[in-house]
């Protein structure tokens, strides 16, 4: 910049006669983001190194992203008193992620959520996937298969979006990978926002018709990871309908009103307020593990959910371009995972809010389509914004 390349006395003379020079230099300094921090995060079993990228926002939010699984490893944000806590579940080294895979903070795909009976028909051709999940004894394909996007090493590069820190990740899912057709080129960009948010932009193209439904599987506890349950978190969803499931947690095809049920979060409710209610839908997953059909008004980013934790005062707002929001209340956490702080992740100690198309959409003609064809571009965006009350 001019101020760095000219002697100081000459710069001051120029600025006396050309005030615009001072203005341009000041704007340039304000817009220049501090370089993204990179550091090693261990190695995979085959020796490939894994890298951790630290993004720092202008209002205190600090997020760590690793290239294995394109995963959110930590997310640090202040409470109402200014005290910082990491509110995202995760591990301190990559070998913990590979030893005990649980989708912590990862990008999941090629198709997030469940596909009934691990199979689908597309343009008259039948495809069989890995049946890697069987809730209630009913087999299905979950989150992309045995080696989904959460278990691969992405290529990554730090970048800058609107003067703020970001990291761009790429992955080529080859034709036939996990049973899916077509070579799928995927890009995910994590970027900081001016209002204390983390934005995730997904993009994909294919050379053959294929289903695509990408999401991030971050586990949140707004009191801090490993710090008790999430039963006192208050939820508000912009969703007057949800998709009921069968005992295998596969949608039945119905889109039902939430009114008069434990799924009505159109006004704020504590998670623990009705989670143990006698209701068939809650019994299937041992709590909430359901997709909510969002009350959307258009195609852009819209508010989907608000989470408030009264002890810390932290608030999480979720905005998305997606039609659905999968709410999972940590029903399968059992203390077997020990996180970054050395604390076990116990039963119902985190929530997951997956912005996505509805589960099993590829087999449900009434649901929004997840089919991507050559020449089309899949695009999706979600923002996790943090504040306090």
Q: Which residues are catalytic?
A: 217, 354
CB 271 within 8 A of CB 288: yes
Rounded Cα distance between 158 and 292, Å, is 34
DSSP type of residue 232: T
Cα–Cα nearest to 368, from 299, 303, 274: 299
Tell me the CA end-to-end span of the chain in Å, nearest whole number: 41
Bridge partners (DSSP) of residue 68 are 153
Rounded Cα distance between 306 and 384, Å, is 10
CB 100 within 8 A of CB 336: yes
The structure tokens 């996990």 sit at 178
E runs forming strands in 238-288: 241-243, 256-257, 269-270
Q: What share of the chain is helix, strand, coil (3-state, %, to 5)?
A: 15, 40, 45
Cα–Cα nearest to 251, from 289, 218, 219, 304: 289
Calculate Rg over the CA atoms of the chain. Answer: 22
Residues sharing a CB contact under 8 Å with residue 1, sequence separation 6 or more, in sequence order: 25, 28, 29
Rounded Cα distance between 23 and 21, Å, is 5
Rounded Cα distance between 99 and 363, Å, is 32
Rounded Cα distance between 167 and 338, Å, is 27
Ramachandran area for residue 378 (φ above 0: left; ψ -120 to 50: alpha; else beta): beta
Bridge partners (DSSP) of residue 160 are 165
CB 65 within 8 A of CB 50: no
């Amino acid at each position: 910049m001019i101020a760095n390349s000219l002697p100081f006395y000459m710069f001051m003379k120029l600025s006396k006669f050309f005030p615009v020079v001072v203005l341009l230099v000041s704007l340039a300094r304000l817009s220049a983001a501090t370089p993204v921090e990179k550091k090693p995060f261990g190695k995979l079993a085959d020796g490939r190194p894994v890298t951790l990228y630290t993004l720092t926002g202008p209002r205190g939010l600090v997020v760590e992203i690793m290239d294995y699984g394109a995963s959110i490893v930590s997310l640090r944000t202040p409470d109402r008193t200014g005290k910082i806590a990491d509110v995202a579940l995760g591990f301190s080294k990559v070998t913990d992620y590979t030893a005990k895979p649980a989708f912590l903070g990862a990008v999941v795909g090629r198709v997030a959520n469940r596909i009934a009976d691990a199979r689908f028909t597309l343009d008259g051709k039948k495809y069989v996937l890995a049946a890697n999940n069987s809730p209630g004894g009913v087999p299905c394909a979950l989150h992309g298969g045995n080696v989904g996007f959460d278990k691969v090493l992405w290529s990554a590069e730090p970048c800058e979006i609107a003067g703020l820190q970001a990291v761009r990740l790429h992955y080529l899912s080859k034709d036939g990978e996990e049973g899916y057709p077509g070579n799928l080129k995927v890009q995910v960009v994590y970027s900081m926002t001016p209002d204390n948010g983390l934005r995730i932009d997904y993009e994909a193209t294919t050379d053959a018709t294929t289903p695509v439904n990408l999401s991030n599987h971050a586990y949140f506890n707004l009191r801090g990871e490993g710090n008790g349950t999430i039963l006192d978190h208050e939820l508000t969803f912009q969703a007057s309908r949800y998709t009921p499931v069968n005992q295998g947690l596969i949608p039945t095809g119905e889109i039902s009103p939430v009114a008069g049920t434990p799924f009505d979060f159109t006004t704020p409710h504590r998670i623990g307020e009705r989670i143990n209610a006698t209701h068939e839908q809650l019994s299937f997953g041992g709590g909430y593990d359901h997709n909510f059909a969002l009350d959307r008004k258009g195609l852009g980013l819209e508010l989907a959910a608000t989470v408030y934790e009264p002890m810390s005062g932290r608030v999480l707002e979720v905005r998305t371009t997606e039609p659905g929001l999968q709410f999972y209340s940590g029903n399968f956490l059992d203390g077997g995972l020990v996180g970054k702080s050395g604390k076990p992740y116990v039963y119902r100690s985190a929530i997951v809010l997956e912005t996505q198309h509805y589960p099993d959409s590829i087999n449900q003609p009434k649901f929004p389509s997840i089919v991507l064809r050559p020449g089309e571009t899949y695009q999706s965006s979600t923002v996790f914004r943090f504040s306090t009350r």
